[in-house]
Structure 1
């Protein structure tokens, strides 16, 4: 009986040791988890601050770029705008004809006689 009692006391002491080790480990885990949460919070705050800073820098760069563009390329004169508008209207007019030619479904869109006239006019102008 004494051996059972001694074994019970030994097991009880061992149980207390294990429980105290468990409590220590739980406390360490809670501390580590708290530190990780604090770290994550500060990292999130730093990331948000960096994002705001980068966004501000990007806006500043875009404003500077726009300012430089207006200095380098001022608004075109009305004559240039008119020529550009007529050019694109002409392009849009000829797109269907050229599209069929480029897809191989139609002959060359400008007649040979028109092309020869243009070449002759160009040659006459260069000779003068």
Structure 2
């Protein structure tokens, strides 16, 4: 009987030790969880601050880009704009000729232009000579 009481006392002490260790582990887990939650909140706040900083930097870069574009490309005079428009219209007009040449379906287009200019110049010279003879 004494051995049963001694064994009961030992088991009771062991039970108290296990309960004590369990409470200590639960407290450690709770502390660790709180620390992780604080760290997560801190990281979220840091990410929000970084996001706002990046947005501000992006706005500054866009403003600087607009400023540089206006300095590099100031508004052109109307005459220049008109010439530019005429230039691009002539380029678009010549695209089909060059496209055919690049596809190998027609001769070099500049030769035809030079021949046309030469023909126009010959016609002009002929007309001037006829006027001079009259």
Say yes or no: TM over 0.5.
yes
| TM-score bracket, shorter-length normalisation | 0.7 to 0.9
Q: Which consecutive residues of structure 1, in runs of 5 or more, have no partner in the other structure? A: 120-128
TM superposition score normalised by structure 1: 0.72
Q: Which runs of 5+ in 2 are unaligned?
A: 119-134
Determine helix, strand or coil for the equivalent of 1:74: coil
- Counterpart mapping for 1:37-116 below 5 A: 37-102=37-102, 104-108=103-107, 110=109, 112-115=111-114
TM-score w.r.t. the length of structure 2 is: 0.69
Contact 2:101–2:107, Cα closer than 8 Å, also in 1:
yes
How many residues were matched structurally?
Answer: 118
| Greater alpha carbon shift after TM alignment, 31-40 vs 1-10 | 1-10
Q: Aligned partners of 2:101, 2:6: CA distance in 1, in Å? A: 105
Q: Distance in 2 between matches of 1:67 and 1:61?
A: 10
Q: Return the alpha-carbon distance in structure 2 between the equivalents of residues 64 and 94 of structure 1.
A: 38
Name the larger-Rg structure: 2
Within 5 Å, which residues of 2 pair with 1:10-49? 10-49=10-49
| 1:106 counterpart SS class | coil
| SS of equivalent residue, structure 2 residue 109 | coil
